Amino acid sequence: MKKTLFIFFILLMSLFSFANADEKNIEQANKEYSEEMYDNAIELYKKIINNGYESAELYYNLGNSYFKLNDMPSAILYYEKAKKLAPNDEDIDFNLKVANNKIVDKIETVPVLFFHKWWRSIYNLFKVDTLAKISIIGFFMFFILISLYLLSKVLIIRKLAFWTGIIFFIITIFAITLSYQKYNSFNNRNEAIVFTSTITVKSSPNKNSVDLFVIHEGTKVNIIEKLGEWCEIKIANGSVGWLPVSSLKSI
């Protein structure tokens, strides 16, 4: 028992030391950025990410560092990563638009149906941690209200507890479903940024296939399918073709 507690204590202290190290690295990285030592800031931010820490602020700061070095593809990549975690952040949106205006390709986006816009606005309204809190509170309230329904002998209280409990149950299921979708969206690397200065999109996964169109570094693509060293991509205007995997970095 003493040995188990000792191991647990060591693991706990290790977690605290990692957290403190990351906190110090973040402070140092922010200092390097403020002193315009952007290469040093990038190195520290990446070290923090490699330790398993992720946040919208961290990706945003990393994107800003690359922006200051005029590395637009990398800036866009990390702004997009930040946007996945904080889709309604105005600073991220603004900087991403500025970075996109500095790349070669200005691709018109295919209009989306109104209900898709409506769903996206709801989808982007909550962060994953907020949805997790809503799920816990909703389930807790559902449990209390159903208990009240089962234990109370007053008809009005039973009815009120039952229907209110149903509402909280629906809210809980909605929050769990939405948070699961957000989690999958972040972990499914089906979006990428082009990191080759100029590249020709092919009609099939073969370098000798027909040339379709040309895109440039910094352009965002959706990955439809991967086949060996090639992947089928779609750009914002709906055009589809094949690119080498090596020319892309996943968001």
10-residue averages of pLDDT along the chain (251 residues): 44 44 81 94 93 90 97 97 89 96 88 70 76 90 93 91 94 88 75 96 96 97 95 95 96 89
Task: State whether 140 and 220 are in the same domain.
Answer: no
Q: What is the structure's pLDDT at 85?
A: 85
217 inside domain: yes
What count of other Cβ atoms lies within 10 Å of the Cβ of residue 224?
13
Q: What is the structure's pLDDT at 225?
A: 93
The tally of domains found in the chain comes to 3
Task: State whether 182 and 212 are in the same domain.
Answer: no
Task: State whether 156 and 210 are in the same domain.
Answer: no
Q: Which of 74, 101, 128 is the last residue in one of the domains?
A: 101
Q: What is the structure's pLDDT at 18?
A: 44
| Cα end-to-end span (Å), the chain | 45
238 inside domain: yes
Q: Which of 187, 220, 235 is the last residue in one of the domains?
A: 187
106 inside domain: no
34 inside domain: yes
**Three-state DSSP string of the chain:** CHHHHHHHHHHHHHHHHHHHHHHHHHHHHHHHHHCCCHHHHHHHHHHHHHCCCCCHHHHHHHHHHHHHCCCHHHHHHHHHHHHHHCCCCHHHHHHHHHHHHCCCCCCCCCCCCHHHHHHHHHHCCCCHHHHHHHHHHHHHHHHHHHHHHHHCCCHHHHHHHHHHHHHHHHHHHHHHHHHHHHHHHHHCCCEEEECCCEEEEECCCCCCCCEEEEEECCCEEEEEEEECCEEEEECCCCCEEEEEHHHEEEC
Name the residue range of residue 146's domain.
115-187
Q: What is the structure's pLDDT at 197?
A: 96
Q: Which of 157, 187, 217 is the last residue in one of the domains?
A: 187
Task: State whether 155 and 228 are in the same domain.
Answer: no
What count of other Cβ atoms lies within 10 Å of the Cβ of residue 40?
16
Q: What is the structure's pLDDT at 21?
A: 52
CATH number of residue 13's parent domain: 1.25.40.10
